[in-house]
Amino acid sequence: MARKTANDDPLAPVTLAVGQEDLLLDRAVQEVVAAAKAADADTDVRDLTPEQLQPGTLAELTSPSLFAERKVVVVRNAQDLSADTIKDVKAYLGAPAEEITLVLLHAGGAKGKGLLDAARKAGAREVACPKMTKPADRLAFVRGEFRGFGRSATPEACQALVDSIGSDLRELASAVSQLVADVEGTIDEAVVGRYYTGRAEASSFTVADRAVEGRTAEALEALRWSLATGVAPVLITSALAQGVRAIGKLSSARGGRPADLARELGMPPWKIDRVRQQMRGWTPDGIAVALKAVADADAGVKGGGDDPEYALEKAVVTIARAARSRGRA
């Protein structure tokens, strides 16, 4: 979720929201607007793009009013402001007007860095809104959403939701909101499965789970559904690789409690339990065969073959057969 500086007053004269995660940027704006309207229900909110904020516009918006009304001025994509408008904003930062809160949304890159530095130097309240590219970040986001509602969700449920929904934070937030509204008590993996079974079936991780469990028909069905709903083939090969590697890691690890193995292998304890169940039927030779199948599929979907779908189907069938190699030995 968005991280804030020590100055956590949403009614600070200037708020600087930095990053490229649209949901977090919107929430930073909503927080300021909500605080302003709580202080004055008649607060005037102006939400502007760089094209709408021309030289002189900011001075006009922040000039003293006869009615002394509270105002929030939001400037989106501040890194794209013209040079003359940036001069206006920098001048305003040196002497912000009373009863007015300026919210600057900035992508945080090199473009427009002078404005970014000037806002920080002026002591702006800063809210970090980084793009969440890592699965662990999205998992932490989901946990934070449940905590924000004062609700409890199991680690398995949070992971299942991320696996089912994917990387879109708005959809993840919406899913959490729906579950919280509809379900009483602790939210577990079974609940997530009931609500998002269609999305889960289209998940690359579902393809991998069914394959490493030796369930060929279900794995192929999930694969075709995933491809039909637009899941990128490279994400499926990545999930297959993670599934096979997890089995390889656990099969070669020393025995012990899930918590101890989790620390040793860098997996959450709940995943240790799941992989243990998936390991039945696997042999070292089977793992080697499956890893080669994943490598071949990865090459196939990245331009090394004529038909990415065929490459994935072949890998899924090979992995599922390898998962039953102990039974055939």
Q: Among residues of the chain, what percentage have pLDDT more than 90?
A: 54
Stretch 85-95: mean pLDDT, rounded? 96
Q: Among residues of the chain, what percentage have pLDDT more than 70?
A: 88
Q: Of 63-67, 189-193, 274-278, 314-318, where does the model show the most confidence? A: 314-318
Q: How many CA atoms lie within 13 A of 262 on its CB side?
A: 11
12-21, 178-187, 197-206, 282-291: the lowest-pLDDT one: 197-206
pTM (predicted TM-score): 0.60
Catalogue the long-range contacts made by 172-176 (C-beta closer than 8 Å, 24 or more residues apart). 172/138, 172/141, 172/142, 172/145, 173/23, 173/145, 176/142, 176/145, 176/146, 176/149
Q: For 66-87, how does the pLDDT look when each residue is reduced to its tens digit (9 = 90+)?
A: 566 789 999 999 999 999 999 9
3-state secondary structure of 76: coil
